[in-house]
A and B are shown apart, each in its own frame.
Chain A
Amino acid sequence: MFGYIVRRLIAGVLVLIAVSMMVFAIFFYGPNDPALAYCPESRCTPQRLDNLRHNLGLDRPAPQQYVEYMSGLVKSRHIESGGISIDCNWPCLGVSFKYRVSVFHYLWDRFPATFSVAAGGAICFLIIGLFSGIFAARRRGTMADKAIVSTSLFINAIPYYLLALLAYLYLVQGLGLFPETGYHSPFKDGPFKFVGGLALPWLMLGIAYSTQYARFSRGAMVDALNEDYVRTARAKGLMERVVVRRHALRAAIVPVVTIFGLDFAYLLAGTLFTEKIFGIQGMGLAGLDAVQRTDLPMISAYTLISAAFIVVANIVVDILYSVIDPRVRLA
């Protein structure tokens, strides 16, 4: 098990290095000249552009620049950026063209907001999705089952941004059923403000994501209920409640864990629409902002961090597998 985790971590690091190289290649060979970002359009002479390039170290060979870029992962750097020099503390993924601060720390500051949205949303969609899925599976073919499946398909057909936007406009702006949304630190501003600001985003994420979890867990549960060992459990004379929970659900949860792991990783990387619509200053919004402003160091850092989440989520899912299913041996 230990060897397996170490091997997977090494493989994960290799993936991240590959991602960083690609990100760097886009940065370096992409259509946007980073120097232009520092060069005011009105007074940008070729001479000045060259100076900037030299200043930023862009005229040095690519491998050298890459090594320098990556060195930020092990030590603090001192970056000359557009004439001024900026301290970039470890871990350093570069300095934002726009804000002139370490991009990693800029994004990291926004992580609590994103994490709160993701975790709360995940709890909502897991509860709604699993309960309705299992409920439907146990009443397969009945009206209740059909109602759940068609409701989930109907919600799925509405674009998420539309659903969230309408909810915001009607429930917050119009009816005032929910307080103004946004992220408030539970430590500084108190838990009530924290929950109040995020309640609607959580609910919206819960509804939107739960549709696929409902259908997925319904399918897994229908399969599990048809398994021979569930029939054995019934034949033993166990109570139906025990049969469903201890025997069928335990098996049905395995495939759900897989998609949940990846979904949660994506959520951690930032839920763009949610943050934008509900005005939450999270990582997704920062990423969007960086794209709009061609803030290349920010985009690269954002991509790398997202990739890291997905790599870690995959490892966690595989470890969870072995915990749930004793046949899976991590060797």
Chain B
Amino acid sequence: MTQTNEPAPQTGTGGLSEPTDGAATDPFLVVEDLTVKFPTADGLVQAVTGLSYSVEQGKTLGIVGESGSGKSVSSLAVMGLHDAKRTQMSGSIRVGGKEVLGLANDKMRRIRGREVAMIFQDPLTALHPFYKVGAQISEAYRAHHDVSKSVARTKAIEMLDRVGIPQARTRVDDYPHQFSGGMRQRAMIAMALVNDPSLVIADEPTTALDVTVQAQILDLLQELQKDFNSAIIIITHDLGVVAEMADDVMVMYAGRAVEFGSTRQILTHPEMPYTWGLLSSVPDVTADPEARLIPIKGNPPSLLKPPTGCAFHPRCPHMDKVPGNLCKTTLPELTPGEHGEGHVKRCHLPDPSAIYVQEILPEIAPDLVEMTINDQFPQKTGTGLVGDSPSDDALPKER
């Protein structure tokens, strides 16, 4: 594989970054040219290759991709949770200006949970079944604060109350199995935030939850972000979650970033066929029900032997529009998109906007074609979607 260190374009709101010379606010997390490989009996799994991004305080980055895209692997690397003996890592991860890649476990431990905390997908398996919820939260607090058990317990009750657990004072002594699914994820969030971390990584935080509870948890995360002013990385396969939560979106495929931009850029002017595929294959409660869903053909590639050139080429329906054998032979660089600063994509396609408007959009949302061409979208996007009080009295108010 010929992988050069790409010139990642600089972005305003904490994007795919290169070392910023004397920028006003340094992003809290800077990942540069991160590569993660796992040696296995079958060969070397190239889980993440040449990944660069950054996240600023108070901002939310959505990482989107399917299983095996490297989205979870890259964030576990930020947490330093890969077993050093079974992982080959290179590149750079800077948390609060400090290099953490290759940091000794004992030093990394002090960053974990305190500066960077993580919320996992399934709160039932992520909480220890044998210990009380409150004890697990105070344990997290005491790992970084030299306080007595009773002080930590008070802190745990305070956090449980903060994340909306009713009767926190008594529920603090419940075991995880006595909590409902939504409450367990709230407890998980309380545990992640107990040390007031500057960065929270949420790995599919709502996938295991019921639909009506999902909304509660997303609301809670946004609300807490305002209070704690932490940066959030939300990892998900669900573009709907990204649309509601993220300021910026990074789309990953086969271990690489294939498109990056503001949520608005990615969702209104996507320029990479894989992103198109993701958008088209999501079923929608408002689309024409008789229309067939438009899947991405084929299956995600094996990371043992990723395809040559663009990893997406075996599944890409637009290869014929690229001259020659370019898609099969040459890995596309991340190049700027056509709609605004900070938007980059990894694709050889000439004039992707035209293809999107003429071929993709009419299939998935014909009513949006006109708006997209003229770029007449309301300014409000992403995080602005939720939380404003409904004007209609018939709607339930948050109590």
Physical interaction between A and B: yes
The answer to whether B175 touches A236, judged by C-beta atoms less than 8 angstroms apart, is: no
- Stretch from A167-175, A227-235, A262-270 contacting the other chain: A227-235
Check B114 for interface membership: any CB of A closer than 8 A.
yes
A232-B120, A237-B143, A238-B143 as given contacts; A324 in contact with B130, CB under 8 Å: yes
Q: Report B-chain residues with C-beta under 8 Å of the C-beta of A215.
A: none
Check A61 for interface membership: any CB of B closer than 8 A.
no
CA gap between A247 and B125 in the complex, in Å: 13
Q: Report B-chain residues with C-beta under 8 Å of the C-beta of A324.
A: 130
Distance (whole angstroms) from the CB of B353 to the closest CB of chain A: 41
The answer to whether A232 touches B127, judged by C-beta atoms less than 8 angstroms apart, is: yes
The answer to whether A250 touches B130, judged by C-beta atoms less than 8 angstroms apart, is: yes
Check B226 for interface membership: any CB of A closer than 8 A.
no
CA gap between A250 and B122 in the complex, in Å: 21
Check A327 for interface membership: any CB of B closer than 8 A.
yes
- Stretch from B104-112, B283-291, B356-364 contacting the other chain: B104-112
Q: Report A-chain residues with C-beta under 8 Å of the C-beta of B127.
A: 229, 232
Check A325 for interface membership: any CB of B closer than 8 A.
yes
- Contacts of A215-273 to chain B: CB distance below 8 A: 227-229, 231-240, 247, 250-251
The answer to whether A231 touches B128, judged by C-beta atoms less than 8 angstroms apart, is: no
Distance (whole angstroms) from the CB of A223 to the closest CB of chain B: 12
CB-nearest residue of chain A to B117: A235
Size of the chain B interface, CB-CB below 8 angstroms: 31
Q: Report B-chain residues with C-beta under 8 Å of the C-beta of A240.
A: 105, 109
CA gap between A236 and B112 in the complex, in Å: 6
A141-B86, A327-B177 as given contacts; A235 in contact with B113, CB under 8 Å: yes
CA gap between A232 and B113 in the complex, in Å: 9
Binary per-residue interface labels of chain B (79-120) against chain A in the complex, 1 for a CB within 8 Å, 0 otherwise: 101000110000000000000000001100111111001101
Task: Choose among B85, B86, B122, B140 the residue that contacts A237 (Cβ–Cβ < 8 A).
Answer: B140
A236-B112, A236-B140 as given contacts; A228 in contact with B130, CB under 8 Å: no
CA gap between A271 and B127 in the complex, in Å: 42
The answer to whether A327 touches B175, judged by C-beta atoms less than 8 angstroms apart, is: yes
The answer to whether A231 touches B120, judged by C-beta atoms less than 8 angstroms apart, is: yes
- Contacts of A99-158 to chain B: CB distance below 8 A: 141-142
The answer to whether B79 touches A251, judged by C-beta atoms less than 8 angstroms apart, is: no
Check B66 for interface membership: any CB of A closer than 8 A.
no
Q: Report A-chain residues with C-beta under 8 Å of the C-beta of B111.
A: 237
Check B126 for interface membership: any CB of A closer than 8 A.
yes
The answer to whether B109 touches A238, judged by C-beta atoms less than 8 angstroms apart, is: yes
Check B219 for interface membership: any CB of A closer than 8 A.
no
Check A40 for interface membership: any CB of B closer than 8 A.
no
The answer to whether B112 touches A251, judged by C-beta atoms less than 8 angstroms apart, is: no
The answer to whether B130 touches A236, judged by C-beta atoms less than 8 angstroms apart, is: no
Check A3 for interface membership: any CB of B closer than 8 A.
no
The answer to whether B144 touches A237, judged by C-beta atoms less than 8 angstroms apart, is: yes
Q: Report B-chain residues with C-beta under 8 Å of the C-beta of A232.
A: 118, 120, 126-128, 188, 191
Distance (whole angstroms) from the CB of A235 to the closest CB of chain B: 5
Check A63 for interface membership: any CB of B closer than 8 A.
no
Check B139 for interface membership: any CB of A closer than 8 A.
yes
The answer to whether A326 touches B130, judged by C-beta atoms less than 8 angstroms apart, is: yes
CB-nearest residue of chain A to B76: A231
The answer to whether A235 touches B129, judged by C-beta atoms less than 8 angstroms apart, is: no
Binary per-residue interface labels of chain A (296-328) against chain B in the complex, 1 for a CB within 8 Å, 0 otherwise: 000000000000000000000000000011110
CB-nearest residue of chain A to B127: A229
Binary per-residue interface labels of chain B (210-242) against chain A in the complex, 1 for a CB within 8 Å, 0 otherwise: 000000000000000000000000000000000
Q: Report B-chain residues with C-beta under 8 Å of the C-beta of A251.
A: 128-130
Interface centre among A228, A231, A235 (most CB of B within 10 A): A235
CB-nearest residue of chain A to B177: A327
The answer to whether B81 touches A235, judged by C-beta atoms less than 8 angstroms apart, is: yes
The answer to whether A236 touches B126, judged by C-beta atoms less than 8 angstroms apart, is: no
The answer to whether B118 touches A235, judged by C-beta atoms less than 8 angstroms apart, is: yes
- Contacts of B193-211 to chain A: CB distance below 8 A: 195
CA gap between A325 and B129 in the complex, in Å: 7
CA gap between A233 and B109 in the complex, in Å: 11
The answer to whether B81 touches A234, judged by C-beta atoms less than 8 angstroms apart, is: yes
CA gap between A229 and B144 in the complex, in Å: 19
CA gap between A325 and B105 in the complex, in Å: 30
CA gap between A228 and B122 in the complex, in Å: 9
CA gap between A133 and B371 in the complex, in Å: 64
The answer to whether A238 touches B139, judged by C-beta atoms less than 8 angstroms apart, is: yes
CA gap between A102 and B109 in the complex, in Å: 66
CA gap between A238 and B177 in the complex, in Å: 23
The answer to whether B143 touches A236, judged by C-beta atoms less than 8 angstroms apart, is: yes
Binary per-residue interface labels of chain B (237-263) against chain A in the complex, 1 for a CB within 8 Å, 0 otherwise: 000000000000000000000000000
The answer to whether B125 touches A227, judged by C-beta atoms less than 8 angstroms apart, is: yes
CA gap between A227 and B84 in the complex, in Å: 18
The answer to whether A247 touches B128, judged by C-beta atoms less than 8 angstroms apart, is: yes
Distance (whole angstroms) from the CB of B75 to the closest CB of chain A: 11
The answer to whether B122 touches A235, judged by C-beta atoms less than 8 angstroms apart, is: no
A228-B125, A240-B105, A326-B175 as given contacts; A235 in contact with B79, CB under 8 Å: yes
The answer to whether A237 touches B139, judged by C-beta atoms less than 8 angstroms apart, is: no
CA gap between A288 and B398 in the complex, in Å: 76
CB-nearest residue of chain B to A248: B128
Q: Report A-chain residues with C-beta under 8 Å of the C-beta of B129.
A: 229, 251, 325-327
Q: Report B-chain residues with C-beta under 8 Å of the C-beta of A326.
A: 129-130, 175, 177
Q: List 9 A-B contacts (CB under 8 A).
A: A141-B86, A227-B125, A228-B125, A234-B81, A235-B81, A235-B118, A236-B112, A236-B143, A236-B191
- Top 4 A-B pairs ranked by shortest CB distance? A237-B113, A228-B125, A237-B112, A236-B140
For the complex with contacts A237-B143, A327-B177, 18 further pairs of A-B residues with Cβ separation under 8 Å are A227-B125, A228-B122, A231-B81, A231-B126, A232-B120, A232-B191, A234-B81, A235-B117, A235-B118, A237-B110, A237-B113, A237-B114, A237-B195, A238-B109, A238-B139, A251-B128, A251-B130, A324-B130
